[in-house]
Chains A and B, each alone.
Chain A
Amino acid sequence: MSLRQITITPVFPLWLIFFLLFIGLAATIIQYRLIRRRLGQHRALALSFLRLGVIFLLISFALNPSLVSRKEQKISPSVAVFLDTSQSMGLKGLAGNGSRLDEAKAILLKGSTPLLKSLAEKFNVRFYGLGESLRSIEAEELPSLKAGGKEGDLTEALEKLAGKNSLAILLSDGNLKWRDTTSMDLPLMVVPIGNPQGYRDILIKAVKAPAMAFRGREVVIDVSIKGYGYKGVTLPVLLKDGIKLLRAKSISFNDNSAEVTVPLSFTPEEVGQRNLSIGIPPQFGESLTSNNTVNLSLKVVRDKVRILMISGSPSLNYRFMRMAFKNDPSIDLLSFVVLRTPSDMINVPLQEQSLIPLPVETLFSKELKDFDLLIFDNLPSHLYLKPSYLESVGDFVRGGGGFAMIGGPNLSDEGRYIGTPIEEILPVRLIEKEDYRRDSSWRVRLSRTGKAHPITRFSPDEGYSINLWQEMPPLDGINLLVPKSSGNTLLERNDGAFQPILTVGTYGKGRVLVLATDYSWKWYMGMVARGKENWVYLRFMERMVRWLTKDSSLDPVQIILPEKTGSVGEEMEIRIKVREEDFSPNRRGTVSLSIFNPDGMKVGSRLKATGQAGEYLGSFLAEKGGTYKLKIETLNSHLEEYLTIAGPMEDLDAAPQPERLRMISASTGGKFLSKDDDLLKEIEAYAERTESHFIEVRNSPLWGRLYVLVLILFLVTAEWYLRRRWGLV
């Protein structure tokens, strides 16, 4: 004990204590002088010292001295044990008999002295399952724990538990999310699981593909493929559209753990949703084969509607159609006008002619497939087109192209189309007799079909469309045609003759239209003459083109798919729009949604109205990966679309990653352990360094004890006894 360990905590103010001391000393001196004469110097001194002793003891008591003792104390650390439970831990473990998770469990639970038990004896241990989310688990749950779900976020877990634990232990194969942060203050000891040397797998690690492609333009899809344990092996990479092989390429790895990026290109020929798959056939000895394939959806659209129009002669019909097409930025028009026939005389040298040859060979033998729509405008085709070109037109329409014939004196080419593919394509019958009339004027009216058809129905209000067409200026020239049973007449003569003016139909995958007049331009100028806008003609032309080219904007039912590819377990939402003629608020339940999973089985779905007319929100739970078929049915139409859901292990890179774990442990200030190490010893040794220390301070009052009181009483009693004996009392 030293003086430094003594401290005082006065019970009175110090000035009062010193004042009392002074009074006590003064009284003792006065007393000494008074009793010295009577008792002599020695006895007076003895009594005075006794008194002084009492005074000093009392003053000391008032100062309340105490002894401070300091002692260093240690606290056993709280240890968080993370057990990786993500899907990669379900793969085969080191021993080969169980999964990686089983391997981790064995480390914790098995052996003569299980690590878990030993840890629990020495430390305050808490267990956590690190899967898609961090989950606290009891020790009893460990044996029944199963692997599954996406990789866990280790950074988030450590940040969450940093303040509550002084050490963390991780058992993992290294497939987890990790962001290196400098603020991490929870050291991590890592026990690697799995055997990287024995792991063999091929996986499609990443696919870089555009969300949308243009028809007729090459699409390049970059595929990154990673291989473990397949050095020097040549593997095929296959790009498929359904079961149709689009492209195949070979790759080989120059190392046992290597990544190769291969571009796969193809040119989509049809618009619409393409359900593509990229795959590598499963290889012998692969640990995981479900990551050999990736499914993706690619929406193929046309950048512009490409129209090839050939007109039999310069005409107002040509000029107004050209104006309408040129005004539409989504249309790319290539037109040819026959400025002179072979019988016309031009009488000038070639240098003074602007006429160019009609490149029929190139157009009909090579380039026709590049167009979406072919228009014959009053074309006497026998002068320019060989029968083989007409065959090409037939093939073009059969394959999905649009074809329109615009009327005039040469619509039927004096019956020369009879017996050709053109006759077969058209939705009207052709007759040998001249069928063009220009001797009167004819108004048009909407047919029953025309009242609902997207080409002629301009408004949800049926009466409005009927009146609009009836008000149109009369046509001064028409072709007298008879519709085929397969054709649908949309506009007909208004004089009761039931002559079709506008007839549409389908042929193969394509759509066809016949406009039996070369005076439709009057529908433009007629409205202008009345002081009205010219939109009716322009919209008519636009809709004609869009319908012929199967533009989805005219489809009665439209589906808006989610922008992001969904994943298993996710609730997928799709938006459905139904045109007015297919939807009536009074006929609820007329729209139905059916969802079929990749196995073709119907799955549960919900459909509810959004509150906006004709708009619905459909949803279903994606229980497995693959391509789902969505089928929407209304009173008059139906639509099928496809939605791709990524499989749970589609892009899983499950290779054990000990080096990554080593890096993670180092960055947290922890330690990377080996299964061969004495784990308990290592953990204990590390725990010692991370033990918490603190100084315990104890305050022991020196005067607050019985012997001090006894001493005071003794001194007072001794003084009283001596005084009495010496005759002072």
Chain B
Amino acid sequence: MTSTDTAAHPEPLSLARGEAKLDPPAHFGRWRSAAPLRRITLWNGETAWVALSYEAVRAVFKDGARFRAAPVTPGFPTINQADSATKGAALLPMLDPPAHTALREAVLREFIVKRIESLRPEAERIVAGLLDAMTGAADPVDLIPALAAPVPATFTCLLLGVPLDDAAFFAKCLDVRFTPTSAAEAVYGADDRLRRYFRDLVTARAADPRDDLSSRLVTGSVLTGKLSAEDAAALLHVLLIGGFDTTKQMIALSTVTLLGHPQQLAELMAAPALWRGAVQELLRYISVAQVERRACVADTEVCGQLIRAGEGVLVLLGSANRDPGVFVDPDRFDIHRRDLPHVAFGHGIHQCLGQPVARMLLSVTLPALFTRFPRLSLAVPLEELRFRDDRSLIGVSELPVRTRP
């Protein structure tokens, strides 16, 4: 095939993983060693670029003026049907400045590292309660409903100041919203139920403020006229999305990863100060969010490749995090790594706002889990875990473990 043919009919983008489920698809590595960016064909027949190298991924993320996050931008790429149904969405990660700036600013102080760290005792209490319940349960235990899902769900409810009982409603809406095959009407419906929920919450907190993030957002930004009630509701909505599934899958896949590296796990249990580096490495190695989307609005050269206005770019975070030009022996899990910072939380102005929460929850949950159950093991072979790799967020739907030998 000549290069002209390749340009006219680029390969389709597959997100499917091989045997090594914790490694990004092997073709990402092959593509990345050929070029930092590559043209591919999307699920709907459109073409777009994929950014594969660490440098290209950081460059696209950092140039927010030319690579826009708003799905309404011409050429904006989508990765599946459910994804394409949310093109009209105006949530924080899908906004460009200045709208993005004002919204992010309104909650920035809520995510100060020290502030989140001060909530560590709350997280420890949540985790201890869940581990108590696991101690009383018969093996095998599914770690997803037992621990991985409720830790971030409970903490997010606590942070936002909403009833813990609403977590099930949130989980149901988000499941419809992110299942790749969900019909457009179902996605709209789920989004709409969440939108109404948060609009009602804003109204309720305006009338009767409490000591929680939602109330501070309403009194600090809505009642002062800085943000509309609609904007505040959308912001709370995205804080929910951001905190739920990402951290759930990080807890599950971190457990799988650590069980697969018993020597490093033993080191961590002997020297808890190492957990900090371990969490950083787990974030890089697993990279739960594998795809971000941008659309180019002005011809731009990235790593020597011209990207034209109107072309879409899928930013492959997991590929950048395994770039051998940046990470020594990148496919090796190594809690002692001292390489450049990973891009698991993105880069540029959209870098994850909730990252201190994710780090804190992981650094509370994982040591507590392995301290309580030192003989923890997978109840099924790793290759039999049903691995979800067809959406922007990777993960497992079940994680059966044995808490005792």
B partners with A: no
**A interface residues (Cβ-Cβ under 8 A, vs B):** none
